[in-house]
Amino acid sequence: MTKTIAQIRNEAAASLSPERQQQWEQFLTPMPVAQQAVGLFTPTDKPVRILDLGSGSGILSAVTANRSAQGSSVVAIEQDADLAQASESSLRQACDDVEVINTSIFDVLLDARFDRVILNPPYKKISPTVIATSGGGVKVTNLYTAFMVTAIQALDEGGECVAIIPRSWMNGDYFKDFRKWMLDECSLDALAVYGSRQEHFKDMNILQEIMLVKVSKRPQVKKVTVYADATPARPLEQQPHESVILKALLMGRDRIVRIQRQDPRLSEFKTMAEQGLWVSTGKLVWFRNRDVLSNVEEPDGHPLYWSDNQNGMMTVHPVECDREQWVTGEADTRNVVLPAGSYCLVNRFSSKEQRHRIYASYLRSDVGFVADNKLNYVHQGTSRQTVPLDDKAARGLTLWLSSSIVDEWYRQVSGSTQVNATDLRQMPCPSKGQLAALSDRLPIDNDVSQGHIDAVIGGLFSWAQAS
């Protein structure tokens, strides 16, 4: 009996060796996700030319072909020989005109002739690489964005591309060039972000925050369809969504893409950068400076802060942990020592499962100190010069960054585990005077509840209780 397309996919997934899967970042698409992805294509009764980049078991292009008019064709490219054979088996059930190419997508010369391009590419970091396009070179830092550039260039005019990719392209410096290029090159039509990091690829052991994105080779459509909390459990059209003009989803010159419109309560604030608050990354990369780390305080040394030193909204030093709490005086020659004063520290890493995506703590140091590279620190200087904050402003900023409205803002901006300094600079923020006023209303205290923080902030800015 002929195996179904879903059975071919499941058997291929079960047969992948962990070593091979890790090497090639092979995460085969389950049928529910494949059906949702294909469902984003615009229905047409005309035959279409389909391209599947990194086809795996062929499930994506097979489902696309099944839903396309008779006379449609498929080109599938897959470098794993076993998976290429699985693609062939799947596609022959769905389409008569099939070509499966067993090689890397980067070894195939593709014309811009496809009406439908679909892909679930590998999510692997690569050294920064510039890909030549008709609109100039575009720098990519991850395999999935390299696949996306290839996919978009293969589209005919009016053609559509649907991809299953991480959210990380939507923010941060690493993806800035790709983001700008893609938004200039085509129309962003739909975004569907999965609320859970586990349920979409249950048998693939993947913890990425995954989304579906649809773009098309045409001028930007008036509104983008956004599913902000999608699930593979039922068809997308049955799930909550909204239509939003693209401008309402974009932030700043770097064109950071949000998944929802900004809370209107934040519209009264300028960004942190516009308020004269600069976010920098801690200067000490520990493995390059092992020789200056110390377990004991030396007369000409400095305190060293890690994320371990963050204790609620306070920063404590020294603490009992497996990291050195001091640096020797030699650190003064390394350009890593920050001037004494008041700051707000922000952990550079967090996951969506944590209570707060932004973990901020207040620091007051009477001596020069050193911050580990896994911390961001907020000051009122520039990228070249660190200037401490006014003490009240530092306290107020710590409270602001610990609020629920800020947490929700950041969850709408970032899908990666990194809390980027670039993104923080774009965050809406009260003025330094308003932050000082906030610190007068509520002291930094680890016993204060989340509800109390939110209520005091709401009272300061006269936000309605129902907001």
The overall average pLDDT reported for the chain is 93
d(CA 51, CA 154): 8
d(Cα 396, Cα 314) in Å, to the nearest integer? 12
Q: Determine the residue type at 84.
A: A
**Residue 346: is its pLDDT beyond 50?**
yes
> Which pLDDT score, from 0 to 100, does residue 390 have?
98
How confident is the model at residue 396, as a pLDDT? 98
> How far is Cα 361 from Cα 449, in angstroms, rounded to an integer?
15
Can you give the pLDDT at residue 202?
A: 64
pLDDT of 206 higher than 70: no
What pLDDT was estimated at residue 361?
A: 97
pLDDT confidence band for 416 (50 / 70 / 90): confident
Q: Which of 164-173, 183-192, 193-202, 288-297 has the lowest mean pLDDT?
A: 193-202
Stretch 432-451: mean pLDDT: 94
Per-residue pLDDT, 18:
73
β strands within 288-380, DSSP E: 293-294, 302-305, 310-311, 314-315, 326-327, 337-338, 341-347, 360-365, 369-371, 375-379
Domains of the chain: 5-261 (3.40.50.150), 267-460 (3.90.220.10)
CB 41 within 8 A of CB 240: no
Query: Which tens digits make up the pLDDT trace of 99-122?
Result: 999 999 999 999 999 999 999 999
**Structure token digits, residue 327:** 């640096």
* Residue owning tokens 């679930």: 120
Query: What is the tens place of the pLDDT at every residue in 153-166?
Result: 999 999 999 999 99
The mean pLDDT value for 73-92 works out to 96
Query: Which pLDDT band, with edges at 50, 70 and 90, does 446 fall under?
Result: confident
Cα 415 to chain centroid distance, Å, stands at 3
Pairing of strands 369-371, 302-305: parallel
pLDDT given for residue 467 in this prediction: 39
Whether pLDDT at 70 is above 50: yes
Q: Mean pLDDT over residues 362-382, rounded? A: 98
Q: What is the DSSP string of 200-265?
A: TTGGGT--S-EEEEEEESSSPPSEEEEEEEE-TTS-GGGS--EEEEGGGGEETTTTEE-SSPPPGG
Q: Is the pLDDT of residue 205 over 80?
A: no
Q: Using a pLDDT cut of 90, give the percent of the chain over it.
A: 81
Closest CA to 418 of 338, 361, 359: 359
Residue pointed to by tokens 């395999």: 143
Q: What is the rounded average pLDDT of the residues 205-229?
A: 90
